[in-house]
């Protein structure tokens, strides 16, 4: 969340930032609640001091035998206690409402995030690779996958419901190959691998910003646990409520997990094939770093995601998201979009974000550096897909398909596939 002191002292700056993000923020209500809370705190402190002074005088009056004056003083204390009780209720109500407002307030965009209302105003940074020109009519992965016997959409619906995926034979093996290849590659580039739970508690989901705002997009268990929408949730919260040492930073983490999303409100959008499903595999990257280095670390994280696509020889482009398109917790985001022939367009396959201290403030992740400053500061957190596995499989099936209906296996994946060089129809 944002620093409430910053919001209090810079309400117009926050209002302008929220307008650029197309977010509604009631500045006047915030200032009113904040003033009520601070006034209540001040009044409580004043009355408590007054009560303490009177209580001290009661003891002196009792020792002097001034019973009548002592009883009058006791009545004063009782009246003050009643006032304190009412003020505590007022303060508690103001604090709860203010906390709800702060939890619902998104991050401030960085100065290098372009201003824009929607994805149409995102800025393309660069492209890599050339989309393949086919000398035959290529098939979409949702058609070719079933023909090859590696994707079974119909039985997946029977087992679960629509927008779940069942992989068979070499399809399942390709999924495992991609996961291991991605994880190994990130480990070789300095990331520490974790194996995480896929159920998180409310504090964990709140720490990274999924709760309370996006609860409708989450799968929830009967005992109040949540299926994670991304390993970012777990990796970031590993150090929740901890104070790290400067020498511990930076921390570069990665993990494979299944991810679960209700995708509420996305009916009709990319619902064919592997692009937008309720359960998908992903290898995630997370960094905890110092504020001075976080934007350089973001560029490096994007390069780490790009490295996967380059090794797979999949054409892609990098997009700098505008203020109207960045995520709730992000200050700056780059999307990587892979070329999919079925769309004749690029589709998102990775999103890399610098959340600055927004998540660290919610999760209370700090660090100390006695040589640079007194006390503690919040770390900056970053997260990025490295990559979404299902979308990578879709890109491979479509970009590596052959005229005979087979799909070649990228060279870097063949060792993970037991030397298999192609997936062919039986």
Q: Which CATH number is 174's domain given?
A: 3.30.930.10
- Whether residue 77 contacts residue 51, with contact meaning beta carbons closer than 8 Å, is answered with yes
Mean pLDDT of 356-375: 95
299 and 244 in a single domain? The answer is: yes
The residue among 377, 359, 364 whose CA lies nearest residue 246 is: 377
- Residue 109 is assigned to a structural domain of this protein: no
The residue among 217, 266, 227, 270 whose CA lies nearest residue 390 is: 270
Residues 6 or more apart in contact with residue 402 via CB below 8 angstroms: 408, 422
The residue among 332, 326, 313 whose CA lies nearest residue 412 is: 313
pLDDT band at 65 (very low <50, low <70, confident <90, very high): low
- Residue 179 is assigned to a structural domain of this protein: yes
127 and 81 in a single domain? The answer is: no
206 and 80 in a single domain? The answer is: no
172 and 291 in a single domain? The answer is: yes
361 and 406 in a single domain? The answer is: yes
Per-residue model confidence (pLDDT) at position 387: 97
Residue-wise pLDDT for 258-276, tens only, equals 999 997 656 666 778 999 9
Q: Is the dihedral of CA 104, 110, 113, 117 positive or negative?
A: positive
Domain boundaries, position 334: 119-423
d(CA 381, CA 298): 10
Residues 6 or more apart in contact with residue 149 via CB below 8 angstroms: 168, 169, 171, 425, 426
Number of structural domains the chain divides into:
2
Per-residue model confidence (pLDDT) at position 267: 60
pLDDT band at 54 (very low <50, low <70, confident <90, very high): confident
80 and 153 in a single domain? The answer is: no
Distances (CA, A) of 219 to 67, 212, 260: 66, 13, 7
d(CA 337, CA 323): 18
189 and 250 in a single domain? The answer is: yes
Per-residue model confidence (pLDDT) at position 410: 98
Mean pLDDT of 243-263: 96
Residues 6 or more apart in contact with residue 194 via CB below 8 angstroms: 231, 234, 235, 238, 253, 254, 255
- Residue 413 is assigned to a structural domain of this protein: yes
- Residue 39 is assigned to a structural domain of this protein: yes
- Residue 113 is assigned to a structural domain of this protein: no
| Domain-terminating residue out of 81, 104, 127 | 104
Mean pLDDT of 76-85: 86
- Write down the mean pLDDT value for the chain: 94
Please report which helix (H) or strand (E) contains residue 251, including its range: strand 251-260
* % of the chain beyond a pLDDT of 70: 98
β-pairing verdict for 251-260 and 192-194: parallel
244 and 374 in a single domain? The answer is: yes
100 and 123 in a single domain? The answer is: no
Give me the helices (H) in 285-350, please: 294-311
Residues 6 or more apart in contact with residue 409 via CB below 8 angstroms: 174, 396, 400, 417, 420, 421, 422, 423
Residue 66: pLDDT above 80? no
| Domain-terminating residue out of 35, 69, 104 | 104
- Residue 110 is assigned to a structural domain of this protein: no
204 and 59 in a single domain? The answer is: no
Distances (CA, A) of 124 to 321, 346, 347, 419: 9, 12, 13, 37
Per-residue model confidence (pLDDT) at position 268: 62
399 and 263 in a single domain? The answer is: yes
Domain containing residue 85: CATH number: 1.10.287.40
Q: Is the dihedral of CA 93, 95, 97, 100 positive or negative?
A: negative
Active site members: 261, 276, 348, 351, 391
Q: For 7-27, what is the HEC assignment?
A: HHHCHHHHHHHHHHCCCCCCH
Q: What is the pTM of this model?
A: 0.92
Residue-wise pLDDT for 217-243, tens only, equals 999 999 999 999 999 999 999 999 999
264 and 307 in a single domain? The answer is: yes
Residue 58: pLDDT above 80? no
- Residue 111 is assigned to a structural domain of this protein: no
| Domain-terminating residue out of 72, 104, 136 | 104
């Amino acid at each position: 969340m944002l620093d409430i002191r910053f919001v209090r002292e810079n309400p117009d700056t926050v209002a302008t930032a929220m307008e650029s993000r197309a977010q509604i923020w009631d500045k006047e209500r915030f200032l009113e609640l904040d003033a009520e809370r601070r006034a209540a705190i001040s009044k409580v402190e004043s009355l408590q001091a007054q009560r303490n002074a009177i209580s001290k005088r009661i003891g002196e009056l009792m020792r002097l035998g001034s019973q009548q004056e002592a009883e009058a003083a006791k009545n004063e204390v009782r009246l003050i206690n009643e006032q304190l009780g009412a003020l505590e209720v007022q303060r508690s109500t103001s604090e709860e409402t203010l906390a709800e407002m702060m939890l619902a307030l998104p991050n401030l965009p960085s100065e290098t995030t372009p201003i824009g209302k929607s994805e149409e105003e995102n800025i393309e940074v660069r492209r890599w690779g050339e989309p393949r020109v086919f000398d035959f009519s290529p098939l979409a992965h949702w058609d070719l996958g079933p023909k090859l016997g590696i994707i079974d959409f119909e039985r997946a619906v029977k087992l679960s419901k629509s927008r779940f995926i069942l992989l068979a034979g070499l399809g399942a093996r390709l999924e495992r190959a991609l996961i291991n290849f991605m994880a190994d590659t990130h480990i070789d580039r300095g990331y520490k691998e974790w194996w995480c739970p896929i159920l998180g508690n409310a504090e964990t989901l709140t720490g990274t910003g999924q709760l309370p705002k996006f609860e409708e997009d989450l799968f929830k268990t009967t005992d109040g646990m949540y299926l994670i929408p991304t390993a970012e949730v777990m990796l970031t919260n590993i150090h929740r409520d901890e104070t790290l040492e400067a020498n511990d930073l930076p921390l570069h983490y990665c993990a494979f997990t299944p991810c679960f999303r209700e995708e509420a409100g996305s009916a009709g959008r990319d619902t064919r094939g592997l692009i937008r499903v309720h359960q998908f595999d992903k290898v995630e990257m997370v960094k905890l770093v110092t504020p001075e280095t976080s934007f350089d670390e973001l560029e490096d994280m994007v390069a780490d995601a790009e490295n996967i696509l380059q090794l797979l020889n999949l054409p892609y482009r990098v997009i700098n998201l505008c203020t109207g398109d960045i995520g709730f917790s992000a200050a700056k985001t780059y999307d990587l979009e892979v070329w999919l022939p079925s769309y004749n367009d690029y589709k998102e396959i990775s999103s890399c974000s610098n959340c600055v201290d927004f998540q660290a403030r919610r999760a209370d992740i700090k660090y100390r550096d006695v040589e640079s400053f007194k006390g503690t500061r919040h770390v900056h957190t970053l997260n990025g897909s490295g990559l979404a596995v299902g979308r990578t499989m879709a890109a491979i099936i479509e970009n590596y398909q052959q005229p005979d209906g087979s799909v070649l296996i990228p060279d870097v994946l063949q060792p993970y596939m037991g030397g298999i060089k192609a997936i062919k129809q039986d």
